[in-house]
Every structure is written in structure tokens, then in C-alpha cells.
């Protein structure tokens, strides 16, 4: 699903250049390319496109100044997916076999590490400076902290605060960092940088909440993943948290989600309980509130075309089907 098709022609052109840059960045080793190719081919490119749109939001920024960092952001995202699949023992990602399923966990860990290293190599080679390097270092650190936090609380019902802390670390900080980096590369003022960072944060929170809904109710042929993957891995998300608060069958649902041998029939039963509550509407309302917050933070100083594109991405996040 290429949401960039709905954006302006410049964004579509940037995407074509980006695709070439991503392929070139991992082509030095045929095995690495083969291992990464399914993930590289299937991505939405949301993170680098956010960066590129923000970098070009006031005036055109030369590709040589933006493309290496845009590529690095996508490689970091891909590396995190490779490592996530190892932790979750996932067999499929985007409808194809994961690296850990195909080559084993040891090779998959090294593939993920390679992608992280390659991303930081691109940043160093193109002299982005210490500020950019610091943001990227903190980004990767927060991804790890979020994953550790999640792994240490499997099959435990989180508080709302713990849930939001986790999705902030794993998703919202990534999207806000992409927007912040774009604004920095564009040499915007501090207020514009902070506003675009806040836009990305609201976007990221909404993105993850919708992702958590799709894990239960998305079309499996579109998402490429079976229903209840999070539940089977012991990750308890907002639809479950809400249903546990309001369902007459909360005790049954809690029993399902807190045991470490969740079966397909358990997942079906959990989905039935969740669907019988207002959990879906509740999650969508929360996601839309975060999107509204993101929109409000868009600076008034941006080009009309850039503002329109960033608003279209906000629409995409809440309306997406995968």
C-alpha cells in the first residue's frame, strides 16, 4: 500500500529516489540483500517520507542533503523489525517468511545489527553533525528500552500509563524524530522544530493505537499477519485494556490474556469479547484525538503543499488497513 500516491508529485519523485538509495545501501553483500529484500520491498516508507516532507516543507532541500538520512531512517526501522521478529518468534512479516524463520535467530540478529551499523555509517559519511547523531542514538536507545519494557511485562495487564509509555518509546518517538530531523536539516527556527516534533508524536501515538486494533480486526490478507499476534506473544494492548475495564466477561478475558499458552481458540474468544464492547470505537476515538493534536501543531509557516501532504498522512494513519 503506497500512501505516497496520494501526495504531491515531488513526494512521489522523492520516493523513487529513496527506493534506489535503500537498495544500493544493502547491495554490497548478496546474502544481506537477499535477507533484507522482503522487508525492503514491502514497507510503507512512512518514516523517511515524514523526514523528507518536513525537510522540504518551507523550501526545496537538495537530495544530497536529505537522501542519506532518509535512507538511514528506513534502515533503522527495518533493523528494528528484524529484531522484533526474533523476539516475537514471528514466522511471517508482510506476508513473507521472516529472516529468523528462514535463516535462524543468530543470522537474523546479525542482519539487524548490520542494518543499524549501515544507517549510522551513512550519517557519518555525510557529515550531518553531532545534533543529528545524538537524535538517532537516542532514537535507537528508546526503541531498545521500549522493547525491554514490553518483554519484561509479557502476559501482564499494563496500566494505561505503562501502555502509553511503551508506545511512545517504540513508535511515537520514532515518528517525532523523523519530523524533528527534517526540520533541523531545513534549518527551521526552534518553534517550528518543536511544533513538527509534536506533530510527529501525535501521529505516532495514533499510528500505534490503530496498529493494535488491526492486530485483532485487520484483514489478514492485507496485513500479512494472523489475528491476535500480539496476544499470542503476551503483549497486551489498548483494545484489551479497554475491554477489561467495561466487559461483563472481563474475568474470562483476563484469564486468556495472562496465560502464556494462548491458542487460536483463545484468540477467537478474546476477539469476540472485545468486539462486544466499545473497545474498537474507544481506540479509534483516542487515535483521532492524537491526530487532531498532531494537526494543530503543524506550523503556519509551511508551504501549502507541505501542509496538505502532512494532513494527508494524518488521514492515512487513522484510515489505514495495514
Q: Measured between alpha carbons, how far is 159 from 280 in angstroms, rounded to an integer? A: 18
Strand partners, 97: 92
pLDDT of residue 322: 67
The three grid cell numbers given for residue 267, joined into one nine-digit string: 484468540
pLDDT by residue (tens digit) across 107-137? 989 999 999 999 999 999 999 999 999 999 9
Residues in the chain: 322
**Whether the Cβ atoms of residue 47 and residue 40 lie closer than 8 Å to each other:** no
The three grid cell numbers given for residue 275, joined into one nine-digit string: 468486539
Summary mean pLDDT of the chain: 90
Q: Which domains does the chain have, with CATH numbers?
A: 3-319 (1.10.600.10)
Handedness of CA 63, 65, 67, 68 (dihedral sign): positive
Q: Measured between alpha carbons, how far is 283 from 164 in angstroms, rounded to an integer? A: 13
Average pLDDT over residues 84-93: 80
pLDDT band at 1 (very low <50, low <70, confident <90, very high): very low
DSSP letters along 187-202, please? Answer: T--HHHHHHHHHHHHH
pTM, entire model: 0.91
Query: What percent of the chain shows pLDDT beyond 70?
Result: 93
Give the residue carrying C-alpha cell 512521489.
Answer: 12
Q: Kindly state the DSSP code that residue 97 receives in the 8-state scheme.
A: E
pLDDT by residue (tens digit) across 171-221? 999 999 999 999 999 999 999 999 999 999 999 999 999 999 999 987 665
pLDDT of residue 251: 97
pLDDT by residue (tens digit) across 246-300? 999 999 999 999 998 889 999 999 999 999 999 999 999 999 999 999 999 999 9
Q: Measured between alpha carbons, how far is 14 from 217 in angstroms, rounded to an integer? A: 33
The three grid cell numbers given for residue 34, joined into one nine-digit string: 537477499
Nearest to 160 by CA among 247, 288, 314, 282: 282
4 pLDDT exceeds 60?
A: no
Average pLDDT over residues 51-60: 93
Question: Residue 35 burial by CB count (10 A; 0-12/13-18/19+): exposed, middle or buried?
Answer: buried
For the chain, percent helix, then strand, then coil, each to nearest 5? 75, 0, 25
Amino acid at each position: 500500500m503506497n500512501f505516497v500516491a496520494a501526495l504531491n508529485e515531488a513526494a512521489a519523485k522523492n520516493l523513487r529516489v529513496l527506493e534506489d538509495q535503500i537498495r544500493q545501501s544493502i547491495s554490497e553483500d548478496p546474502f544481506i540483500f537477499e535477507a533484507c529484500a522482503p522487508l525492503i520491498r514491502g514497507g510503507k516508507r512512512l518514516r523517511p517520507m515524514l523526514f523528507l516532507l518536513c525537510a522540504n516543507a518551507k523550501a526545496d532541500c537538495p537530495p544530497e542533503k536529505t537522501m542519506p538520512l532518509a535512507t538511514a531512517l528506513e534502515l533503522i526501522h527495518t533493523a528494528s523489525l528484524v529484531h522484533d521478529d526474533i523476539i516475537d518468534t514471528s514466522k511471517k512479516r508482510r506476508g513473507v517468511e521472516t529472516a529468523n524463520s528462514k535463516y535462524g535467530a543468530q543470522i537474523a540478529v546479525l542482519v539487524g545489527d548490520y542494518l543499524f551499523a549501515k544507517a549510522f555509517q551513512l550519517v557519518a559519511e555525510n557529515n550531518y553533525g553531532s545534533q543529528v547523531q545524538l537524535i538517532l542514538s537516542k532514537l535507537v536507545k528508546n526503541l531498545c528500552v521500549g522493547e525491554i519494557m514490553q518483554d519484561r511485562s509479557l502476559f501482564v495487564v499494563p496500566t494505561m500509563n505503562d501502555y502509553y509509555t511503551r508506545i511512545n518509546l517504540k513508535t511515537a518517538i520514532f515518528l517525532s524524530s523523523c519530523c524533528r530531523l527534517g526540520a533541523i536539516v531545513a534549518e527551521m527556527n526552534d518553534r517550528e522544530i518543536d511544533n513538527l516534533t509534536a506533530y510527529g508524536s501525535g501521529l505516532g501515538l495514533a499510528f500505534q493505537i490503530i496498529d493494535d486494533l488491526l492486530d485483532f480486526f485487520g484483514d489478514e490478507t492485507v496485513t500479512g499477519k494472523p489475528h491476535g499476534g500480539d496476544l499470542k506473544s503476551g503483549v497486551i494492548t489498548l483494545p484489551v485494556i479497554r475491554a477489561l475495564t467495561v466487559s461483563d466477561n472481563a474475568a474470562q478475558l483476563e484469564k486468556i490474556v495472562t496465560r502464556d499458552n494462548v491458542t487460536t481458540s483463545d484468540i477467537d474468544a478474546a476477539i469476540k469479547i472485545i468486539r462486544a464492547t466499545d473497545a474498537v470505537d474507544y481506540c479509534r476515538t483516542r487515535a483521532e484525538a492524537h491526530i487532531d493534536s498532531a494537526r494543530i501543531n503543524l506550523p503556519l509557516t509551511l508551504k501549502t503543499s507541505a501542509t496538505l501532504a502532512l494532513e494527508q498522512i494524518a488521514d492515512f494513519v487513522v484510515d489505514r488497513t495495514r
